Amino acid sequence: MGDLLLVRHGETEWSVTGQHTSWTDLPLTGHGEEQAKSLAPLLTGRTFALALTSPLARAIRTAELAGLTGLIPDPDLHEWDYGGYEGVTTREIHRTRPDWNLWTDGVPPGTEGHPGESPAEVGARADRVLARVGDALADGDVILVAHAHFLRVLTARRLGLAPADGRLFQLATGTVSRLSTEHGRPVVAAWNVRP
């Protein structure tokens, strides 16, 4: 059984300011590009049975700069749809909703085509990704390049936890994490690794 490697894209302007970023397709900052390049030594020489990326440019660019090739864009790896909170910081939300929590309260609908998602809806996408990579993991390692909140939910689901338990896994920009198995059960083998 192979390992599941998770790569969070490099820094963007909104990841620095803490703005919720789902469909807004921001480029990496200069520092984000350097973060992505620095991941190459962690990934060089590895063979992947399957390599998937979010269709958003920040994830694709991170993969390119990290030296990954042959990645297949997968729409299910898209970041959590933040609906009406797209571009808004948690601090700003707390001005009108002081007790708001993404993991329990979800988000209000946004503009047309961006209704927002609940943890359960993001969890359903994560479950579809995990189902797709299941056979490939039997053949070797799998790598996913995507976004913080989505990868946190996917980690929770891989470990048999509820989608909202993704709140337990803080994930920094420009990092590699590794989900493995121990005695046939999924475990976190490495988290937020940087060179």
Give catalytic residues, as residue numbers.
9, 79
SS3 category, 62: helix
| Spatial CB neighbours of 156, under 8 Å, sequence gap ≥ 6 | 123, 126, 162, 163, 164, 165, 166, 168, 169
| Spatial CB neighbours of 130, under 8 Å, sequence gap ≥ 6 | 154, 157, 158
Element containing residue 134 per DSSP (H, E): helix 119-139
- 58 annotated binding-site participant: yes
Annotated binding residues for substrate, as ranges? 58
